[in-house]
A and B are shown apart, each in its own frame.
Chain A
């Protein structure tokens, strides 16, 4: 789970909502199509220019709105390696961790500038800003949830759990 690859920071403001991340009109389209419209209402070039390993930075209430998991999944599809924000909407936070997308609550998220080179150690909750030569200690992901994150998301976690149970049943 530990990630140390560098990525470009894409900075957004407060209350980045799920309609911006996963616009309703594309909700019945394929994930690739939906993801190509991610955040286009406020930053049309985002989906086209982002590269694998980049990091999305938000203010407070990142992911507010709908329960649509595609809001987090679109970011995964585009190759986003982590989201760092001052606070997250709770359903988005759960969805992201369930999909194996590290989301870190960071009080100093606002100090990161658009285009900064960032690397993220999700396990330690440590964000390094290579451009500014600083690092930020984020709130740790609760230990109860790290088991899901470490498994790579809820599906791999449940698979482990179910195969263990099935194994136990056959013994």
Chain B
């Protein structure tokens, strides 16, 4: 037996090694990991796993590790949705789920808001935007409902250890640019088939970002086709955790990639050169700088979803909308990402700025982003949206068009009635 030469591990590899009880893991290896946290929501959750768990005669492995959020069918718009929500509540009760947030916000925002995430954790969620948790140094991936049944029954899951891409961003973002623009640029640059990769974001641009913006990076790793996104914790991370009333894990800051780890690829970007980006229908990959677009009329502007309706997103929109009005013939709809987001925006005056500009406030929830709540778009209509996906038909009619952009650009376009560069309005 030979002693292997010690080489460093990436952050993702370290977490998977710990969760699988192995000294180390190598990319490509299939390992079985124990779950620290399981996230479920009303759409893919109880209604899809209840009968299957019964069929297995299995109970939830550890109800204290499960967080359940009603966010997709809220508030109920018809009897079918109401039944789904009623089933969700009943299941939470019957299974003594410790953390059930009913209509309080979108699951990916509720997890950090309530202090459920810690660096070094291994978690899964029944939703493709589960990589959002990576902003807190958590390794978190999305899974489907049958898989969720297995997870709930056994408390474990198999994972193929992924390669890691290092994405380094340095420089200061221009005023009017944000994490969303970085992600749209990446969708255009790296494409959407980065299968089985972990995107590790780092560099001075990331260090300077608040947690909301870091969440956007990890959230939209899903659009890159990646397994997940992750960012090593720093003081910004631990400060956030403390503000939620929780204590950061003692080893929080030690969960980071070793200097001599192996990245499959390394990319470096100068963010000071980045312009606001807009993705044309019907793919996030169709992204280009805002100033390359011909004047394109927008019937609707939408600020919503886990990607684009957190407090910082509302702040961006308010900066653009302050003292301005939404253009005639354009409707601006805003669905804050959580009830606490609305509360904070009301307290700091943001909500008044938005509504004075003519924004229509919608209930908290996944809403129109997933084609489920209020705000669907008609045949032939164009919508510019702070959400993450513009797949054909996602927000309504199969013959509608969704453009993706940052909250700055969505707000500027609402004012102009067409695709508009927010930098001009912020200067004025």
- Listed in ascending order, the chain A residues whose CB lies under 8 Å from chain B are 15, 17-20, 23-25, 27-29, 40-42, 60-61, 64-69, 72, 87-91, 94-95, 98-99, 142, 144-145, 153-155, 158-159, 162, 166
CB neighbours of A87 from chain B (8 A):
193, 195
Assembly CA distance A91 to B127 (angstroms)? 9
Nearest CB of A to B30, in Å: 5
Which residue of B has the minimal Cβ distance to A100? B146
20 A–B contacts from the bound complex (CB under 8 Å)? A18-B128, A19-B391, A27-B43, A27-B372, A64-B192, A67-B44, A67-B126, A69-B147, A87-B195, A95-B146, A98-B144, A142-B160, A144-B158, A145-B158, A154-B146, A154-B150, A155-B52, A155-B149, A158-B56, A158-B153
CB neighbours of A25 from chain B (8 A):
371-372, 376, 396
CB neighbours of B56 from chain A (8 A):
155, 158-159, 162
CB neighbours of B58 from chain A (8 A):
158, 162
Cβ contact within 8 Å between B371 and A61: no
Q: Is B116 an interface residue (CB 8 A)?
A: no
Which residue of B has the minimal Cβ distance to A44? B398
CB contacts under 8 Å to A, within B350-386, are: 370-372, 376
CB neighbours of A89 from chain B (8 A):
195, 225
Which residue of A has the minimal Cβ distance to B396? A25
Assembly CA distance A29 to B48 (angstroms)? 13
Assembly CA distance A69 to B81 (angstroms)? 18
Q: How many residues of B contact A (CB 8 A)?
A: 50
Cβ contact within 8 Å between A162 and B57: yes
Cβ contact within 8 Å between A19 and B57: no
Which residue of A has the minimal Cβ distance to B388? A65
CB contacts under 8 Å to A, within B372-420, are: 372, 376, 389, 391-394, 396, 398
Cβ contact within 8 Å between B142 and A91: yes
CB neighbours of A94 from chain B (8 A):
143-144, 147
Nearest CB of A to B280, in Å: 14
Assembly CA distance A95 to B145 (angstroms)? 8
Which residue of B has the minimal Cβ distance to A89? B225
Cβ contact within 8 Å between B147 and A98: yes
CB neighbours of A99 from chain B (8 A):
146
Which residue of A has the minimal Cβ distance to B376? A25
Nearest CB of A to B187, in Å: 11
Q: Given A24-B372, A27-B43, A159-B56, are A69 and B393 neighbors across the interface (CB < 8 Å)?
A: no
Nearest CB of B to A86, in Å: 9
Identify A91's interface contact among B30, B143, B389, CB under 8 A.
B143
Assembly CA distance A128 to B98 (angstroms)? 52
Which residue of A has the minimal Cβ distance to B228? A90
Q: Given A88-B195, A89-B225, A95-B144, are A19 and B128 neighbors across the interface (CB < 8 Å)?
A: no
Q: Given A19-B391, A24-B372, are A158 and B227 neighbors across the interface (CB < 8 Å)?
A: no
CB contacts under 8 Å to A, within B97-149, are: 125-128, 130, 142-147, 149
Assembly CA distance A17 to B128 (angstroms)? 12
CB neighbours of A154 from chain B (8 A):
146-147, 149-150
Cβ contact within 8 Å between B371 and A23: yes
CB neighbours of B128 from chain A (8 A):
18, 65-67, 91
Cβ contact within 8 Å between B393 and A67: no
CB neighbours of A72 from chain B (8 A):
144
Q: Is B196 an interface residue (CB 8 A)?
A: yes
Nearest CB of B to A147, in Å: 10
Q: Could you list 14 further interchain pairs (A-B, Cβ under 8 angstroms) beyond the known A29-B80, A61-B195, A158-B56?
A: A15-B193, A18-B128, A19-B371, A19-B394, A24-B372, A24-B393, A28-B73, A61-B225, A67-B143, A69-B48, A95-B146, A145-B158, A155-B146, A158-B153
Cβ contact within 8 Å between A42 and B192: no
Nearest CB of A to B212, in Å: 23
Cβ contact within 8 Å between A28 and B195: no
Identify B84's interface contact among A28, A61, A95, A144, CB under 8 A.
A28
Cβ contact within 8 Å between A19 and B43: no
Which residue of B has the minimal Cβ distance to A23? B393
Identify B283's interface contact among A15, A68, A88, A142, CB under 8 A.
A15
The listed residue with most A CB atoms (<10 A of its CB), out of B43, B73, B150, B193, is B193
Assembly CA distance A153 to B146 (angstroms)? 9
Assembly CA distance A162 to B53 (angstroms)? 11
Assembly CA distance A91 to B144 (angstroms)? 7
CB neighbours of B348 from chain A (8 A):
none
CB contacts under 8 Å to A, within B230-274, are: none
CB neighbours of B81 from chain A (8 A):
28
Cβ contact within 8 Å between B150 and A158: yes
Q: Is B294 an interface residue (CB 8 A)?
A: no
